[in-house]
């Protein structure tokens, strides 16, 4: 790989890594872990939605829901099916600190 731009440096050629880079790498690892946790939580919720849809004879995909989600809209297209209290408990149950062993 000699002479290839961007190729890995040999360890012996590597200058000392500034401590700020080490700190930033640790922060990046923490963010990655949090993202993984959130994606796992999200998957639990969408899987449960899928189970409930299958039980209720609903189609697996609801285009209006996924479209409003990708626009960043928090408003449910089916407000009669949502309540404030259930929403609040859903949010709190997805906190990384409170649900490390709920999988």
Question: Which residue blocks in the chain are alpha helix, DSSP H?
Answer: 19-56, 63-70, 84-93
| Residues 29-68 contacting ligand ISJ, CB under 6 A | 46, 49-50, 60-62, 65-66
- Rg of the chain over Cα atoms, rounded to whole angstroms, equals 22
Q: What is the dihedral of CA 77, 81, 84, 89, to 10 degrees?
A: -110
- Closer CB to ligand ISJ, 69 or 88, in the complex: 69
Exactly one of 69, 83, 86, 102 binds ligand ISJ (CB under 6 A); that residue is 69
CB nearer ligand ISJ, residue 15 or residue 60: 60
Note the residues at the interface with ligand ISJ (CB under 6 A). 46, 49-50, 60-62, 65-66, 69
């Amino acid at each position: 790989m000699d002479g290839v731009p961007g190729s890995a440096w040999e360890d012996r050629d590597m200058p000392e890594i500034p401590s700020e880079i080490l700190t930033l790498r640790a922060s990046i690892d923490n963010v990655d872990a949090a993202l993984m946790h959130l994606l796992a939580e999200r998957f639990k919720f969408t899987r449960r939605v899928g189970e409930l849809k299958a039980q209720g004879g609903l189609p697996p995909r609801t285009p209006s829901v996924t479209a409003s989600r990708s626009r960043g809209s928090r408003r449910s297209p089916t407000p009669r099916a949502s309540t404030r209290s259930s929403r609040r408990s859903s949010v709190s149950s997805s906190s990384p600190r409170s649900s490390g062993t709920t999988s």
